[in-house]
């Protein structure tokens, strides 16, 4: 049984650290086009939500449904929780695959595995979430947090703490509206390596991701 899953890409027009990050040339394409074309292979419909007419025009040209965002929800002042709720409230589908445009290195096969898992989730889970394992020695205010400093383990034996990768999240639309979040309490973790989990946040990461994408 396949759930009715829509792909949603939230794509703000303004980007402070990398101007026009989502639509500037990236490996003979753009981050937005790459993500739309990736999702089109996997879900029945892709929606792009943006305050930018230029982004919405590019989205429509690539087969996505453009959704105009109220400028208030594209400011730096509004909380991301409010954005999650606003971006998905008018999507006419029961389930949402929330894809981050700034994660171009996640493989299509990985997203496919996320969808497959979501369609067959055990009752103890309520969503699918991409994560990285945090295998680091963490200290806070003079105390070790995730290991016994007097009986130091090998790094691979540290507990499996998760860092949310924010590449792919799949969950019921109802949950996003209720929680105002795309991370639920009982998510099933899809573990990504450092390359697939890479999130572009500045010019160096943009150039590095483009280099790796072309390889």
Mean pLDDT over 53-62 rounds to 96
Across 198-213, b (16+ Cβ under 10 Å) vs e yields: bebeeeebbeebbeeb
Write down the pLDDT at residue 3. Answer: 85
High-pLDDT (> 90) share of the chain, %: 91
Q: pTM of this prediction?
A: 0.94
List pLDDT tens digits, range 146-170. 999 999 999 999 999 999 999 999 9
């Amino acid at each position: 049984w396949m759930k009715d899953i829509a792909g949603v890409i939230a794509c703000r027009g303004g980007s402070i650290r990398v101007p026009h990050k989502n639509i500037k040339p990236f490996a003979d394409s753009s981050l937005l086009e790459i993500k739309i074309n990736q999702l089109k292979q996997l879900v029945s419909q892709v929606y792009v939500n943006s305050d930018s007419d230029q982004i919405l025009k590019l989205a429509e040209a690539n087969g996505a449904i453009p959704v105009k965002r109220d400028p208030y929800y594209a400011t730096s002042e509004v909380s991301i929780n409010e954005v999650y709720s606003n971006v998905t409230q008018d999507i006419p589908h029961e389930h949402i695959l929330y894809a981050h445009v700034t994660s171009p290195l996640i493989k299509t096969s990985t997203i496919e595995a996320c969808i497959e898992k979501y369609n067959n989730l055990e009752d103890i889970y309520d969503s699918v979430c991409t994560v990285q394992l945090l295998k680091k020695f963490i200290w806070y205010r003079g105390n070790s947090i995730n290991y016994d400093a007097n009986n130091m383990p090998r790094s691979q034996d540290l507990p499996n703490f998760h860092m949310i990768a924010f590449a792919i999240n799949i969950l019921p639309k109802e949950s996003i509206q209720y929680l105002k979040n795309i991370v639920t309490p009982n998510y099933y973790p899809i573990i990504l390596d450092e390359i697939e989990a890479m999130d572009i946040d500045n010019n160096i990461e943009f150039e590095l991701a483009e280099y790796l994408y072309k390889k």
